[in-house]
Amino acid sequence: NAGVTQTPKFRVLKTGQSMTLLCAQDMNHEYMYWYRQDPGMGLRLIHYSVGEGTTAKGEVPDGYNVSRLKKQNFLLGLESAAPSQTSVYFCASSSSLGGSPEAFFGQGTRLTVV
Amino acid sequence: EDQVTQSPEALRLQEGESSSLNCSYTVSGLRGLFWYRQDPGKGPEFLFTLYSAGEEKEKERLKATLTKKESFLHITAPKPEDSATYLCAVQDSSNTGKLIFGQGTTLQVKP
């Protein structure tokens, strides 16, 4: 049981390049999220999904796009990377059932944009 | 606007020296308050969920409590392995599972 797996773990991009971060979960969770973590800012929600084929904006969505074509996968895309997107990105998933609302997190992707 | 504030930002304790971390929150309809532990270079790890004022939960040397405005994470007789960043988050009643996080408290326990 792997839980939440993020790919890649590290990446360096040049300004203007694009990339996709992949998140996969094997817990059959309906809800999935992308957060970014910056020093002194805590975790901030970028985009989220409440089910296959659905996505919604979070607190800091600008410069990012997402897709949830399969229930187990949630992709985060950067179309034209900027230095302000240097951060650690975390994917999480949680159940829509009332008994276990806690979110489970991946190990993170450390992205540097130069 | 939903908001979570944690204090202090950093805390240094000697092994065995008990203390508390604070999490103040404002949320439109609290569905749950969550505590997570995060080790350097790792993702947050779930510790507790609290649902209503007066509720308490314990796990080893940690005890979390909840009032209508804040939550405390009490650490009793900490050990060096308790050193980590502790994150507090709230979930509103929107049925989306979204979490609003505080900035975290970084705890260092010295032997």
Q: 10-residue block means of pLDDT along chain B (111 residues)? A: 94 98 94 96 96 95 97 98 97 87 97 96
Q: Find the helix or strand (DSSP H, E) in which B56 lies.
A: strand B56-59
| E-state strands within chain A | 4-7, 10-13, 19-25, 31-38, 42-49, 56-57, 64-67, 73-78, 87-94, 104-105, 109-113
Enumerate the residues of chain B whose CB falls inside 8 A of the CB of residue A7: none
- The whole-number pLDDT of residue B1 equals 83
- The whole-number pLDDT of residue B93 equals 82
Query: Euclidean distance between the first and final Cα of chain B, in Å?
Result: 41
Helix, coil or strand: residue A86: coil
Condensed to tens digits (0 to 9), the pLDDT of residues A56-80 reads: 999 999 999 999 999 999 999 999 9
Residue A98 has pLDDT above 70, yes or no: no
Q: How many domains does chain B have?
A: 1
Helix, coil or strand: residue B32: strand
Q: Say if residues B62 and B73 touch (Cβ distance below 8 Å).
A: yes
- The whole-number pLDDT of residue B94 equals 83
| CATH value at residue B43 | 2.60.40.10
Q: Do A33 and B44 touch (CB under 8 A)?
A: no
Nearest chain A residue to B1, by CA: A59
Interface list for chain A against chain B, based on CB atoms closer than 8 Å: 4, 31, 33, 35, 40-45, 48, 50, 56, 58, 90, 92, 94, 96, 101-108
pLDDT-derived band at A41 (thresholds 50, 70, 90) equals: confident
Task: Quote the domain boundaries for residue B64.
Answer: 3-110
B45 alpha carbon, distance to own chain's centre = 11
